[in-house]
Structure formats: structure tokens, C-alpha cells
């Protein structure tokens, strides 16, 4: 597979727009990011700078190297930094041996020609849940093995719903959710928090409503897309959601919910630990579709990938490292540490057995889809940015939902022209 300078430069620009939408990355790497590994040392990059060598994750990476008969030089860095540095390293001919990347970035790296197919490496992905591996599948070929998945659902405050006489089991579609928000407001409490910020986090949080209406990312301004944006605008205008959703990240949105004043929070698996510390009873329900059922939610999480190397003899060991990191035995403790839902049914069952609170999250992941799935690939960033801009324009009152999405569709079509 050949890489071209033009493809790499274009890919760097795309990766720069894909800020991580989940809560796994963050911070910066303090270690050397050189990757010209040789001999018995293999280089490994991941987006977990928060985990040092003494952490459970750090120890697993080291053990997988030892089991493969080599030493692993691990470098953790911010998600967006990792994608950009991977592209630059490939351009210079010194990409890492193994790399863990955010799932929307996989298609960009594939287009740049720097990732190996799992089939070429002899990696078995047959037990991976189809919709989870779909985020790393391009033209029916997978280019990595998912380490796990996280996604979105609705947390609710049990005390507030009880006081407002709302049964969470009654929330099955948009109408019943809006009716619940109305009751909560009438009871003197606040409704729902979410993130509508003008970054990938805003798109990530809008997608369940967009897809839950039957929206198609290639037709942003369809009646279905307009219905989803109109719902959010109705909530903000009606005082069911705060106006600061326009600036809220998923973290600040969670902090609002953690005050105990809000009935609902759209947020992710990664907040489970914080939910337990919040000091009030909570529950979790799936985000409802417009007319019922669970809305499709976007998958977050990373893929273990093997970049193209000049020395193809290195792939045998790289395969062993990937297999070790993604084995069922190692996925269970790893996904518990990362607060991820495992990508295989067998490990999911073990997770729920250990922690019944994960049951609704397993259901949410089962209904999830990759942001770059369905053939979108590298087109996704050029759709996502106009979409989050439309959300901002509509919720701020600058444009109607229809006008905002008309503008977004024109921009997306131009970007993919």
C-alpha cells in the first residue's frame, strides 16, 4: 500500500478536526514520541496519557510485549496529537509498530495508506460485534480490532423524577420525554443537560436525536434532520434545557447534572464512576427514538491497529501484541478500567455479571453505529462540522432549524464535492 504526500497532508487536516468526543483522552505526553523501533523493542502509541507504567493498562501493555518476547516502548498522548503524529511519522517512514486510535480516525489513516488490513495480518475479528467493528471497516475490510466501546444514554435523578411523578419506564419516545421535562419544570426543578458545543462533542451528542428521527448524514436538511434540531430548540426555548448547552462540553454538562438540580443528563459510559460519587440515586435509560425504541447512538472507543512498516517481518510480533491486548481474558479488566463496554458478547456478559449497572449500556452499544460507517469514511468530518454549526445557529436563534440545516447541507456537499 503506497502513501502519497498529498494524501498524508490532506489526512492531517482531517484528523485536526476530529477532536475526541469521548472522555478517554486528554492531557499530553511527557515521554519521547520517537518510533523508529528496531530489534527487540516495539513501539506502541495510545491516547491514554492519564495511565502511567504502573497503571493496570500500562502493566498490560508491558506484559503483552513480554509474552511476545519483546520490550514495548509505550507513548501516551492526546487523541488528536496521536492521529497527526501518526500521519507525520508515516510520511517519514517511522510509524509505530502498534497504535491505538480513536475510531473515526481509522478511515482517515486508511485513506492515507498507513494501516494494514486485519485479514492481511491474520487477525481474527469474527467474535467482534458487527456494529462496533463497523467503525473501523472500509470497503468491507477491517483495519483494526476494537478495544471496547462507549456511547451515550440518559442518566436520570431518581428523586427529581419521583417528586415530579414521572416514571422513567414511561419514557419511550420524544413526546413522553418532553412531557416528563414539562412535569419536572412544573415541579420547580431543571430538565435536561447535554452538550451542543461547536466541536465534535456537539455532533456526537446530537447524533442520537438525528438518527433517532431517521436522519441521513448525507441529507442533513431533510425533514427528519429538521425534526431533531427542532426538538432541541423546543427544549432550550421552553426552558427545559439551559442556554449554556451551546458552550457545554460533555464534562461541564455532567457537572450541571451532578449538582442534583437536573432530572436528566445525556452522557456516556465514562461517567459511571462519577455517577456513583454524585450523592444521589440515579438510573440510566436508552435515548428514545422519535417514535419509540432505542435511538441509534454513536460509538466511541479505540481500535488497535498495525501501521504499515518497511520491514514486514515485524508484523508477526505486532499481531501477537494486538491479539494479547484484545483477548477475552484481557478485555474484561481493560474495559472495566476504561469504563468501556466490551466488543464481544462473551465479555459483555461477564461485565454485566460483575456490574449489573452496565446492562443498559450493553443495550445502548448494541443499538450504536460508527460515525464513519455506511461508507462515509473521511467524508464524516466535512459533514460533522457544518452539522454542529447548524445546531449552534438554531439554538442561539440565529437561524431556524430548516435554514440552519440548509446551510449545513450546502457546506457539506461542497466539502465532499
261 phi/psi in degrees, rounded to 5:
-95, -15
Among 151, 252, 222, 161, residue whose Cα is nearest residue 401: 222
282 phi/psi in degrees, rounded to 5:
-140, 165
pLDDT given at position 238: 97
pLDDT above 90 coverage of the chain, percent: 73
Mean of pLDDT values over 376-404? 95
150 phi/psi in degrees, rounded to 5:
-130, 165
Q: What is the mean pLDDT of the chain?
A: 89
Q: Which of 5-9, 84-88, 190-194, 208-212 has the lowest mean pLDDT?
A: 5-9
Positions of CATH 3.40.190.10 in the chain: 5-149+300-366, 152-297+376-415
pTM for the whole structure: 0.82
pLDDT at 416 over 80: no
Instruction: Provide CB contacts within 8 A for 9, sequence distance 6+.
Output: none
Q: How confident is the model at residue 4 (pLDDT cuts 50, 70, 90)?
A: very low
Class of domain 152-297+376-415: alpha beta
Among 300, 370, 312, residue whose Cα is nearest residue 338: 300
pLDDT given at position 17: 52
Residue with cell 457537572: 255
pLDDT given at position 3: 40
Q: What is the DSSP letter of 245?
A: G
Mean of pLDDT values over 231-256? 97
pLDDT given at position 339: 86
Q: What is the DSSP letter of 45?
A: E
Pairwise CA distance, residues 163 & 175, whole Å: 20
pLDDT given at position 11: 53
pLDDT given at position 91: 84
Tell me which of 370 and 22 has the higher pLDDT.
370
pLDDT at 355 over 50: yes
Residue with cell 495510545: 46
Q: Which of 22-36, 194-208, 344-358 has the lowest mean pLDDT?
A: 22-36
Identify how many contiguous H helices and E strands the chain contains and give both numbers. Answer: 18, 11
Is the domain defined by 5-149+300-366 classed in CATH 3.40.640.10? no
pLDDT given at position 311: 93
Pairwise CA distance, residues 160 & 191, whole Å: 10
Helix (H, G, I), strand (E, B) or coil at 284: strand
Q: Which of 17-26, 242-251, 299-308, 326-335 has the lowest mean pLDDT?
A: 17-26
- For 81-127, the pLDDT digits (tens) are 888 898 898 888 889 999 999 888 898 899 889 999 999 999 999 99
Helical ranges in 191-327 per DSSP H: 200-212, 223-237, 250-258, 272-277, 315-325
pLDDT given at position 86: 87
Among 320, 316, 321, 341, residue whose Cα is nearest residue 331: 341
Whether 303 and 136 have beta carbons less than 8 Å apart is answered as yes
| DSSP string of 91-158, one letter each residue | HTT---SEEEEETTHHHHHHHTT-B--HHHHT---TTB-HHHHGGGEETTEE--EE--BB-EEEEEEH
- For 23-73, the pLDDT digits (tens) are 443 333 333 333 333 459 999 999 999 899 999 999 999 999 999 999 999
Whether 281 and 275 have beta carbons less than 8 Å apart is answered as no
Q: Which of 248-252, 269-273, 328-332 has the lowest mean pLDDT?
A: 269-273
| DSSP string of 385-409, one letter each residue | HHHHHHHHHHHTTSS-HHHHHHHHH
Half-sphere exposure of 162 (CA within 13 A, CB side): 7
Pairwise CA distance, residues 323 & 124, whole Å: 8
Report the first-to-last Cα separation within the chain, whole angstroms.
25
Pairwise CA distance, residues 370 & 373, whole Å: 5
pLDDT above 70 coverage of the chain, percent: 90
| DSSP string of 343-378, one letter each residue | SBHHHHHHHHHH-GGGHHHHHHHHT-B-TTTTTTGG
Amino acid at each position: 500500500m503506497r502513501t502519497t504526500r498529498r494524501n498524508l497532508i490532506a489526512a492531517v487536516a482531517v484528523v485536526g478536526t476530529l477532536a475526541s468526543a469521548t472522555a478517554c483522552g486528554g492531557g499530553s505526553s511527557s515521554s519521547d514520541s520517537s518510533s523508529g523501533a528496531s530489534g527487540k523493542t516495539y513501539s506502541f502509541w495510545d491516547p491514554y496519557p492519564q495511565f502511567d507504567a504502573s497503571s493496570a493498562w500500562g502493566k498490560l501493555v508491558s506484559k503483552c510485549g513480554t509474552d511476545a518476547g519483546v520490550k514495548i516502548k509505550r507513548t501516551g498522548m492526546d487523541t488528536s496529537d496521536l492521529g497527526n503524529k501518526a500521519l507525520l511519522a508515516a510520511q517519514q517512514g517511522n510509524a509505530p509498530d502498534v497504535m491505538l486510535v480513536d475510531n473515526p480516525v481509522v478511515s482517515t489513516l486508511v485513506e492515507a495508506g498507513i494501516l494494514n488490513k486485519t485479514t492481511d495480518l491474520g487477525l481474527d475479528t469474527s467474535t467482534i460485534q458487527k456494529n462496533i467493528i463497523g467503525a473501523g471497516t472500509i470497503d468491507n475490510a477491517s483495519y483494526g480490532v476494537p478495544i471496547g466501546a462507549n456511547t451515550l444514554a440518559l442518566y436520570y435523578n431518581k428523586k427529581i423524577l419521583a417528586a415530579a411523578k414521572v416514571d422513567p419506564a414511561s419514557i419511550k419516545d420524544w413526546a413522553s420525554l418532553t412531557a416528563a421535562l414539562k412535569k419536572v419544570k412544573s415541579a420547580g426543578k431543571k430538565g435536561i443537560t447535554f452538550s451542543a458545543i461547536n466541536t465534535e462533542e456537539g455532533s456526537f451528542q446530537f447524533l442520537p436525536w438525528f438518527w433517532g428521527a431517521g436522519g441521513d448524514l448525507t441529507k442533513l436538511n431533510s425533514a427528519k434532520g429538521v425534526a431533531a434540531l427542532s426538538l432541541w430548540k423546543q427544549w432550550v426555548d421552553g426552558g427545559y434545557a439551559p442556554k449554556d448547552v451551546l458552550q457545554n462540553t460533555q464534562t461541564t454538562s455532567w457537572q450541571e447534572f451532578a449538582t442534583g438540580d437536573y432530572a436528566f443528563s445525556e452522557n456516556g459510559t465514562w461517567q459511571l464512576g462519577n455517577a456513583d460519587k454524585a450523592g444521589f440515586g440515579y438510573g440510566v435509560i436508552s435515548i428514545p427514538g422519535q417514535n419509540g425504541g432505542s435511538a441509534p447512538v454513536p460509538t466511541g472507543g479505540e481500535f488497535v491497529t498495525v501501521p504499515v512498516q518497511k520491514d514486514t517481518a515485524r508484523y508477526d510480533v505486532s499481531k501477537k501484541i494486538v491479539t494479547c491486548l484484545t483477548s477475552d481474558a484481557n478485555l474484561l479488566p481493560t474495559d472495566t478500567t476504561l469504563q468501556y463496554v466490551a466488543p464481544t458478547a462473551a465479555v459483555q456478559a461477564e461485565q454485566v455479571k460483575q456490574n449489573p449497572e452496565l446492562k443498559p449500556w450493553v443495550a445502548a452499544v448494541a443499538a450504536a453505529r460508527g460515525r464513519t460507517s455506511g461508507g462515509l469514511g473521511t467524508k464524516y468530518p466535512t459533514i460533522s462540522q457544518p452539522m454542529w454549526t447548524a445546531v449552534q445557529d438554531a439554538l442561539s436563534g440565529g437561524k431556524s432549524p430548516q435554514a440552519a440545516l440548509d446551510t449545513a447541507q450546502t457546506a457539506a456537499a461542497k466539502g465532499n464535492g
